[in-house]
Amino acid sequence: MTRRIVVVGSINMDLVTQAPRFPQPGETLLGDGFVTVPGGKGANQAVAAARLGAEVALVGALGRDAFGDQLQAGLLGEGVDLQHVQRLDDQASGTASITVAAGENQIVVVPAANAGVTPAHVEAAHAALARADAVLVQMEIPLEAIEATLRLGQRLGVPVILNPAPARPLPTDWLTLARYLTPNQHELAVLLGADPAEDFRALMRRAPTPVVLTRGSEGAWYREHGEPAHQPSFAVEVVDSTGAGDTFNAALAVFLHEGLATAVRKACAAAALSVTRLGAQQGMPRARELDAFLAR
């Protein structure tokens, strides 16, 4: 059965520079290449979920500019429902300036139109959320809109996966409204106001909500109750890790009905495939590619 996913989040144009290494402050380097590709955590998660076969609606905002036109066309081409993506007058679309060196990245996001996503905007998507099997929300939109998503999901009885990236502290009662938190270690420490050096398993046990914690090349850990369990990563050649977390979250939401352990395994596999190409969305797998990869 087709899964229905709603994503509430950011839409950015990614300005990606490939460099031999990251420059030091004040240093100028000659780069190896430059591409402009669609991104933004919300849009990335929407595209990844759609490629995995879900019916996806995105709640977000674009500026009325050339980037906005390109991003809108790209999302429509992926089959994402944009009924709840507003075009804001006198606003630029969000951008992310990304430097990629040796498979790692550094990112500066300018939210622009993404800062215009409001609780009213989320409430207007009430009917879409009510029909959803799962809702995904990240933290590149205003906190009030994140809170509205969590509260609406709770009211409707729809599981909300909160991907707390980029990390900001949040009130504990908001965290308990989420079905799962999907941070990395640093993000979980920020969420809990803890020392990032603290053992991540201890942090997971202290979280007020079940946690699925991503560890990059070390895979993922997940905990519903009791002790955290581990899912190792899949070995691939890393070209660009941008969007790996977004692919992971989307797959987790799409396959959640198969049970948490299976969903985390599939999420790790989908994330592995996503890092084999440059750009956040380029490497995101379709359902049949994921199946073939897992069968190997």
Residue ranges that bind ligand RIB, judged by CB under 6 A: 10, 12, 14, 39-41, 44, 96, 107, 109, 140, 242-243, 245-246, 280
- For 165, residues 6+ apart whose C-beta sits below 8 A from its C-beta are 41, 138, 139, 140, 183, 184, 187, 245
Q: Which residues pair with 38 in a beta bridge?
A: 13
Q: Of 97 and 118, which CB lies nearer to ligand RIB in the complex structure?
A: 97
Nearer to ligand RIB, 158 or 220 (CB): 220
For ligand RIB, the closer CB: 94 or 153: 94
Three-class DSSP category at 76: helix
* CB 83, CB 66: distance < 8 Å: no
Name every residue whose Cβ is closer than 8 Å to that of residue 61 and which is 6 or more positions away in sequence.
11, 85, 86, 87, 88, 91, 113, 114, 116, 117, 121
- CB 18, min distance to ligand RIB, A: 15
Q: How near is the Cβ of 202 to ligand RIB at its closest, in Å?
A: 26
How far apart are CB 2 and ligand RIB at their closest, in Å? Answer: 25
Shortest reach from residue 246's CB to ligand RIB, in Å? 5
Structure-token pair, residue 6: 């709603």
CA 296/CA 292 separation, integer angstroms: 6
Cα→Cα distances 106→3, 109, 122, 143, Å: 33, 10, 30, 23
Q: Measured from the CB atom, is 56 or 158 closer to ligand RIB?
A: 56
Burial bucket for residue 221 (CB in 10 Å: 0-12, 13-18, 19+): buried
Least distance between ligand RIB and beta carbon 108 (Å): 9
What is the spatial distance between Cα 94 and Cα 113, in angstroms, rounded to a whole number? 6
Residue (3 or 41) nearer to ligand RIB, CB: 41
Number of neighbours of residue 120 by Cβ within 10 angstroms: 10
Residues with catalytic roles: 246
Nearer to ligand RIB, 137 or 280 (CB): 280
Q: Left, alpha or beta for 90 (phi > 0: left; psi -120 to 50: alpha)? A: left
CB 158 within 8 A of CB 36: no
| Smallest separation (angstroms) from ligand RIB to the CB of 139 | 10
Whether a cis peptide bond, with omega within 30° of 0, leads into 171 is no
The residue nearest ligand RIB at its CB is: 39
